[in-house]
Amino acid sequence: MLSSATLTFWDRVYRFHPLQPLDISLPLAPGPENVNCFWAEPVQVETITVGDFVGSVAQGGSTNYQRVHLTPHGNGTHTECYGHISPDPAATLDQCLPRFLFVAQLISVAPQQLANGDFVVLAEDALAQLDVANLPEALVLRTLPNPESKRTAQHSGTNPTYLEPALAEFLAQHGVEHLLLDLPSVDREEDGGALLAHRAFWQYPERTRTHATITELIFVPDAVEDGWYLLNLQVTSLVLDASPSKPVLYSLTPVGSSAEGSVSFVEAPH
């Protein structure tokens, strides 16, 4: 049994515990209680029947065999690549995300209300919590307040909180490859197709960051403290611009300094 492991990032060694995962995804449950945005239909699960076969053990079938109808961008936690805003047929998440483990920093930010009534996560508020000289590979953004109702929120038509494009631009310019947040989108619900934060984060189309991703509709419980984590970004192998995803965090504890790039593991006695 693997009890602990270490990794090195920015010349500092961190310890983490593989058996203590922190799942920050929202489940894809069928029905109207699932979190939803952009007028997507609720997740639907349909039992398949073929001849005398019924794909439900509860209805007398030998196995459960079901079809799922979902919209990655509108139902639950999802990860997207630049293909979300590009006509490039090769811009699919299965091609754009070759790695799945990243050093991440979790920060919590209270959005500010603009003169037009919109609530926006301002760049200055987020950057005040970051060390520009030691930025993470992935930034996890939790907005405040953080009620449990985020788990089932129906966002369509509510003009939810979004990011100031300057924050997305800063992260892109300073090499943060992955952005995770508990909002339906980094951009305003209806912005006339401008998609300023999406374009800024992916630097699209001039200097497109093909391996950068945005993960939306996460939920980080209050018990998970701001700080440094190992992120395991799990996705399905859909050949699409986006996929339902399961980001999992592992708390990182500093233990010393070492040469950059090393990883080691400690096995617990059986």
Check whether 269 has a pLDDT greater than 50.
no
25: Cβ contacts below 8 Å, ≥ 6 apart: 76, 77, 218, 219, 245, 246, 247, 248
pLDDT at 257: 62
- Residue ranges of domains in the chain: 2-267
Q: Report, as an integer, the average pLDDT of 242-261.
A: 84
3-state SS track over the chain: CEEEEEEEECCEEEEECCCCCEECCCCCCCCCCCCECCCCCCCEEEECEECCEECCHHHCCCCCCEEEECCCCCECCEEECHHHHCCCCCCCHHHHCCCCEEEEEEEEECCEECCCCCEEECHHHHHCCCCHHHCCCEEEEEECCCCHHHHHCECCCCCCCEECHHHHHHHHHCCCCEEEECCCCCCCCCCCCCCHHHHHHHCCCCCCCCCCEEEECCCCCCCCCCEEEEEEEEECCCCCCEEEEEEEEEECEEEEECCCCCEEEEECCC
Check whether 266 has a pLDDT greater than 80.
no
pLDDT at 261: 45
Q: Report, as an integer, the average pLDDT of 58-85.
A: 97
pLDDT at 258: 52
Q: What is the pLDDT of residues 187-227, one digit of tens each?
A: 999 999 999 999 999 999 999 999 999 999 999 999 999 99
- Residues of the chain with pLDDT > 70, as a percent, come to 94
Q: Report, as an integer, the average pLDDT of 64-78.
A: 97
pLDDT at 256: 74
Q: What is the pLDDT of residues 101-138, one digit of tens each?
A: 999 999 999 999 999 999 999 999 999 999 999 999 99
**Structural contact between residues 217 and 26, judged by C-beta atoms closer than 8 angstroms:** yes
Q: Report, as an integer, the average pLDDT of 221-238.
A: 98
From the candidate CATH numbers 3.30.360.10, 3.40.50.1000, 3.40.50.300, 3.50.30.50, the one assigned to the domain spanning 2-267: 3.50.30.50
Average pLDDT, the chain: 94
Q: What is the pLDDT of residues 130-140, one digit of tens each?
A: 999 999 999 99
Query: What band does 3 get if pLDDT is binned at 50, 70 and 90?
Result: confident
**Torsion 151-79-202-14 (CA) sign:** positive
Q: What is the pLDDT of residues 151-190, one digit of tens each?
A: 999 999 999 999 999 999 999 999 999 999 999 999 999 9
**Structural contact between residues 42 and 235, judged by C-beta atoms closer than 8 angstroms:** no
Question: How far, in Å, CA of 50 to CA of 148, rounded?
Answer: 41
